[in-house]
Amino acid sequence: MRLYSVSVSVLVLPMSLLLLVLLVPSPVAGQQQALMDYLERRLQAIEDRISLWNDQTGRYAAELRDAKQQLIGKLEGLEKSKDTQRAELEALGGRVQRVEREMDFLETHKEAPLPCVELDDKLLEQQVTVAKETIKPRYAKLSGCTDVLDSIKGMKILKRFGSHDGVWARDMSGGTGSGRVYIFNGTSDDLIYQYPSLRDFSSSSGTALATPIRLSRQWSGAGHVVYKGHAYVLEEGAEHRLLKLRLPGGLLVDSSVLPLSNLIPPYGLTPHTLLDLSVDEEGLWCVYASSSGTGGDTHHLSLAKMDADTLAVTHTWTTPCPRDNAEAAFMACGTLYVVYNTRLPGRSRVQCVYDAADPSTAEDAIHTYFPRRQGAHSSLKYSVQEKMLYAWGQGYQILYKLNMRSKLDM
């Protein structure tokens, strides 16, 4: 368009001169002929330039088409190379997963070294005598549940909300569960957030769809649970006092001073939790640790079965599960699963299992690794109806789908 506009502007001037010549009185014939020759030469020059411009435009267009074809060819080559590299990476990822599974198998099936110390016969007899004296009646399960954890078959990082540590749980207990989601953000506060459903929590921005609930007391740690329309929390500043609060109002229904002494954090990697409450098919449980006394020792976790209505402790056990490098635990079908990690958060794993009804089977349990994710959990809450774990890890709210199987099939 630019070329033709220039040519038209150039033609306008000679035509105006020609009209001027025709309008003025006719001069000598020689001068007229010279002027006509001049105009013809100018027109010829303009036509030559227009032809040159047309040739150049066509050549540029052809070069652009060639460059486009070359670029398309290179892009196709890059796309093929990308597909090849993706296939190679997928193959490499499969090999890495196979190596990880083999390493997991080797780690979980290592036999413990035999002790090199010979016990004196009299000392052995004394230990057997003490053990017989401290035998307690066997715990009888309230439910007919015989399931044990087989594997963790799925993980979904739902969102990131709130502080580095916290608790989130969904009230799906029995026939009284509302399906609401409750958020305990942080490790000390008197405020919790209630969401109408799991979908509302996952799709909301911050606390936009939440109902804040102000409690009459302040809670502490990350060991709270929600069960049958009530929240069970440890009161801030009172290491032995357990509170039972009605939801959604947050009114105090009952409280109890637990008969536990010399409490210390049960998990070496989660020092802000002094008591960890858990709910499964059997009801309400409490995981704790004591520095001395019959309730436990410095190196191992203790377990207590509680009455959810009266907050009374009905049974206690000292488990063989160590506190060191433990990050969290959960109960499922009357069995305690303790999750371990490292000081620098790595891959979480269930490395100690304790069945309250049959402690002798603990050594036969399968040790399970969580799906690959470098990080630690500040809380793990088991959902009986959904067979899922509601986990809080480094500010992320995570769902783990559990694969359970019957103990009778083992």
Helix (H, G, I), strand (E, B) or coil at 6: helix
- Band of the pLDDT at 205, cuts 50, 70, 90? confident
Q: Choose the weakest-confidence range: 62-66, 206-210, 362-366.
A: 362-366
- Band of the pLDDT at 343, cuts 50, 70, 90? confident
Residue 268 domain flag: yes
- Shared domain check, 55 and 154: no
- Shared domain check, 59 and 152: no
Q: What is the mean pLDDT of residues 225-238?
A: 90
Residue-level pLDDT at 113: 45
Q: Is the confidence at residue 227, as pLDDT, over 90? A: yes
Q: What is the mean pLDDT of residues 318-327?
A: 93
Q: Is the confidence at residue 280, as pLDDT, over 80? A: yes
H or E element that contains 168: strand 166-170
Residue-level pLDDT at 177: 55
- Shared domain check, 66 and 148: no
Q: What's the CA angle centered on 298, arms 294 and 302, to 5 degrees?
A: 55
- Shared domain check, 346 and 263: yes
- Shared domain check, 148 and 28: no
Predicted TM-score (pTM) of this structure = 0.67
Q: What is the mean pLDDT of residues 325-352?
A: 92
- Shared domain check, 325 and 217: yes
CA distance 101 to 96: 9
Of 79, 97, 132, the domain-final residue: 79
Mean model confidence pLDDT for the chain: 82
CA distance 313 to 291: 19
Residue 229 domain flag: yes
CA 42 to each of CA 30, 55, 290, 407: distance values in angstroms, whole numbers, following the listed order: 19, 20, 109, 104
Of 79, 97, 121, the domain-final residue: 79
DSSP secondary-structure letter at 353? Answer: E
Residue 91 domain flag: no
CATH for 307: 2.40.128.630
Residue-level pLDDT at 32: 86
Split into its structural domains, the chain has a count of 2
- Shared domain check, 275 and 166: yes
Residue-level pLDDT at 217: 85
- Band of the pLDDT at 259, cuts 50, 70, 90? confident
- Shared domain check, 170 and 262: yes
Contact 345, 394 (CB under 8 A): yes
Give the closest residue to 332 by CA, choosing from 264, 401, 381. 381
| 66 C-beta neighbours (distance < 10 Å), count | 10
Residue-level pLDDT at 105: 57
Residue 273 domain boundaries: 141-409
Contact 327, 290 (CB under 8 A): no
Residue 87 domain flag: no
Tokens of 145: 């549940």
Residue 181 domain flag: yes
Tokens of 261: 């002494």
Q: Which residues contact 91 (CB under 8 A, 6 or more apart)?
A: none
Q: Choose the weakest-confidence range: 60-74, 281-295, 346-360.
A: 281-295
Cis-peptide into 248, omega within 30 deg? yes
Residue-level pLDDT at 364: 58
Residue 342 domain flag: yes
- Shared domain check, 165 and 44: no
Contact 299, 324 (CB under 8 A): yes
Higher pLDDT, 308 or 112: 308
Of 79, 100, 116, the domain-final residue: 79
- Shared domain check, 145 and 9: no
CA distance 45 to 131: 119
Measured in whole angstroms, the distance separating CA 395 from the mean position of its chain's CA atoms is 9
Residue 134 domain flag: no
Residue 317 domain flag: yes
Tokens of 313: 């402790």
- Shared domain check, 149 and 24: no
Which long-range contacts (C-beta less than 8 Å, at least 24 apart) are formed by 36-41?
A: 39/14
CA distance 73 to 34: 59
